[in-house]
Amino acid sequence: MLSCLGDKDGNAEGNGFLLLDSDFNVKGRWEKPGHSPQFGYDFWYQPRHETMISTSWGAPAAFTKGFNLEHVKDGLYGRHLFVYSWPGGELKQTLDLGNTGLIPLEIRFLHDPLKDTGYVGCALSSNMVRFFKTADGTWNHEVVISVPTLKVKNWILPEMPGLITDFLISLDDRFLYFVNWLHGDVRQYNIEDPAKPVLSGQVWVGGLLQKGNDVVYMTEDGKELQFDVPPIKGNRLRGGPQMIQLSLDGKRLYVTNSLFSAWDRQFYGQDLVKKGSHMLQIDADTRRGGLTVNPNFFVDFGAEPDGPSLAHEMRYPGGDCTSDIWI
């Protein structure tokens, strides 16, 4: 099943879900007629609860040209979750996340197939929103992690969101990891109580606020600060942490730094596009919590024979915590 973002002209009306057979021939639409979401992007399902929930990025005509805040006001970006019957394809409920859930991207249920809760990362609002089933069988949501918007100087706006672009949940459902693509940090939260995540690790691996850049953030007492981002194997880190993948034992978190070429160029300039992206490894403490950047691991996609390349998604061949769903 494929999630679609829009029609051939870049309008959001063309979104929905396509089913392919084992030979990759299109069989048709998955959702019932008249049950397409307003916007498309990611989805995740929990078979024992007979539910699939999808997220909403925006109209391709808007985001392919780079990000424009006016497009949010014009309604060209999403703020809803769409709750479907699984595998029936009937749209049962639409959750309006409001201003606390602008541009919801990646979505994950807990891996435990009995659990009826999960999270969605809302990029522009920089919030992690938990969704859950209520006693009457409908679904609700609440903000459980909020990344403060920072006051900055020498940037296009006076305030900078973290921009949560990716997150994942460890296979044992103990830890949640997410990135702030603009700020430049990767975070680890203990979610043994799903409603009350606890910050347990944080590292800085790029971002607009690293030392050596022009952009600085202002503290409440008026000080100008930047974050220290050490080079890896002699390489200054480009861009910000974007897509992540976790080893099956939960001990190694891999990070790439390209979001979307138009946005890469807009927010990080030609440096990231011309030099290409890279992949890093962050070691995770799975007992007490904590993150440490591995100083000996650096994959340079700018050095590819047909490069420079912009690396994005990562997958394990036998399945991983961002693809496996149990029944």
Provide the Cα torsion 302, 305, 311, 316; round to 10°: -130
For residues 168-184, give the mean pLDDT.
98
Residue 59 has pLDDT above 90, yes or no: yes
pLDDT band, very low/low/confident/very high, at 298 (cuts 50, 70, 90): very high
Maximum CA extent, the chain: 61
8-state DSSP, 13? G
Range of the domain at 23: 2-242
If one counts the domains in the chain, the total is 1
> Is pLDDT above 90 for 13?
no
* Domain assignment present for 104: yes
Question: Average pLDDT of 252-268?
Answer: 96
Q: Is residue 298, in this structure, part of any structural domain at all? A: no
Reference 16, options 100, 103, 89; nearest CA is 89
Residues 6+ apart with CB under 8 A from 24: none
The count of C-alpha atoms lying within 13 angstroms of the C-alpha of 175, restricted to the half-sphere facing its C-beta, is 28
| 309 lies in some domain | no
Average pLDDT over all residues of the chain: 96
Helix (H, G, I), strand (E, B) or coil at 163: coil
Q: What is the pLDDT of residue 187?
A: 98
**Residue 268 counted as domain residue:** no
**Mean of pLDDT values over 193-208:** 98
Q: Strand order of the sheet with strand 175-179? A: 167-169, 175-179, 185-190, 198-204
Q: Are 125 and 99 in contact (CB under 8 A)?
A: yes
HSE-CB of 58 using CA atoms within 13 angstroms? 23
Residue 115 has pLDDT above 90, yes or no: yes
Question: Between the CA of residue 107 and those of 110, 128, 132, 176, 265, what are the distances in Å?
Answer: 10, 10, 13, 12, 26
Q: Average pLDDT in the 110-125 region?
A: 98
Asked if pLDDT for residue 103 goes beyond 90, the answer is yes
How many Cβ atoms are within 10 Å of 298's Cβ, its own excluded? 16
Predicted confidence at residue 41, as pLDDT, reads 96
CATH number, position 191 = 2.130.10
Kindly state the percentage of the chain with pLDDT values over 90. Answer: 95
Quick check: is 302 in a domain? no
Rounded to 5°, the CA angle 212-241-101 comes to 115
Is the pLDDT reported for residue 253 higher than 90? yes
The answer to whether residue 319 is domain-embedded is no
Could you tell me if residue 260 is inside a domain?
A: no
Confidence class of residue 14 from pLDDT cuts 50, 70 and 90?
confident
- Averaged over 200-226, what is the pLDDT? 95
Q: Quick check: is 120 in a domain?
A: yes
**Which candidate, 129, 141, 115, 196, places its Cα nearest to that of 167?**
129
Q: Are 149 and 160 in contact (CB under 8 A)?
A: yes
What DSSP designation does 132 have?
E
What is the C-alpha radius of gyration for the chain, rounded to an integer number of angstroms? 19
